[in-house]
């Protein structure tokens, strides 16, 4: 059974993570407080990196794949131990397949039509992508036509300083990519960036 009780609900998007770096990067992020790690499949080594991360993940953490576009992608990530499905698009068949496999399903949406279709297919949360284009006003508008409990996670251009504004607009979590991780970045820098995001999230919750 997949739970939505992740604290903080921040997804580390580890595009380009190589298997040989997965232990150091994953350990750094887990120690900083991240509990959701995504390795996009459109770079080499992703499946093996997911397998490594699942082996070191704390019991309250979830590892999965990003840019998952097909049923085959879902099956490959599941076989590697991943239990989170994240996509940039809304494909109802693929979403339903991920849900059937017991994965946390977070498809990408940019319009009310896509958002409602994704929820109908069983999505647990919605990746608002690209967030920079949709903007705060766009998120507010989409929020008004969705069930109140819908989880909305903007992705794209998210920084610690912007978390509060997005949260006020209706965001309940975030996906964080290059502002957190890029291949070759020093572990100390990744750790500091991660702590900045976690601290910013907790500061919002304490208001």
Q: Mind giving me the DSSP string for 80-141?
A: TT--EEE-SS--HHHHHHHHHTT-EEE-EE-SHHHHHHHHHTT-SSEEE-SHHHHHHHHHHH
Q: If pLDDT is split at 50, 70 and 90, which confidence band does 7 have? A: confident
pTM, two decimal places: 0.97
pLDDT digit string (tens) for 43-101? 999 999 999 999 999 999 999 999 999 999 999 999 999 999 999 999 999 999 999 99
pLDDT digit string (tens) for 16-37? 999 999 999 999 999 999 999 9
Three-state DSSP class for residue 191: helix
Map out the domains of the chain as residue ranges: 10-205
- CATH classification for the domain delimited by 10-205, as one of 3.90.1150.10, 3.40.50.300, 3.40.50.410, 3.20.20.70: 3.20.20.70
Q: What is the average pLDDT across 185-197?
A: 98
HSE toward the beta carbon, residue 157, CA cutoff 13 A:
12
pLDDT digit string (tens) for 126-165? 999 999 999 999 999 999 999 999 999 999 999 999 999 9
Quote the mean pLDDT of the chain. Answer: 96
Query: In the predicted model, is pLDDT for residue 1 greater than 60?
Result: no
Peptide bond into 195 cis (omega under 30): no
pLDDT at residue 152, rounded to an integer? 98
pLDDT at residue 3, rounded to an integer? 58
Active site residues: 38, 127
Query: In the predicted model, is pLDDT for residue 174 greater than 80?
Result: yes
Location of structure tokens 């919750």: 205
More confident residue, 171 or 7: 171
């Amino acid at each position: 059974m997949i739970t939505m009780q992740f604290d903080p609900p921040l997804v580390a998007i580890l595009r380009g993570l190589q298997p040989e770096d997965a232990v150091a990067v994953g350990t750094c992020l887990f120690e900083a407080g991240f509990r959701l790690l995504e390795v996009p499949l459109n770079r080499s080594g992703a499946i093996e990196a997911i397998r490594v991360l699942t082996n070191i993940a704390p019991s309250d953490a979830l590892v999965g794949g990003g840019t998952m576009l097909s049923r085959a992608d879902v099956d490959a990530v599941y076989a590697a131990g991943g239990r989170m499905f994240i996509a940039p698009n809304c494909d109802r068949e693929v979403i339903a397949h991920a849900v059937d496999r017991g994965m946390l399903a977070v498809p990408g949406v940019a319009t009310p039509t896509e958002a409602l279709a994704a929820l109908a297919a069983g999505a647990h949360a919605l990746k608002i992508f690209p967030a920079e284009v949709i903007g705060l006003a766009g998120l507010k508008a989409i929020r008004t036509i969705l069930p109140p409990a819908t989880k909305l996670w903007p992705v794209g251009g998210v920084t610690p300083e912007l978390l509060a504004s997005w949260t006020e607009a209706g965001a309940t979590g975030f996906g964080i990519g290059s502002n957190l991780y890029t291949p070759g970045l020093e572990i100390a820098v990744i750790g500091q960036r991660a702590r900045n995001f976690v601290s910013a999230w907790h500061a919002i919750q304490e208001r």
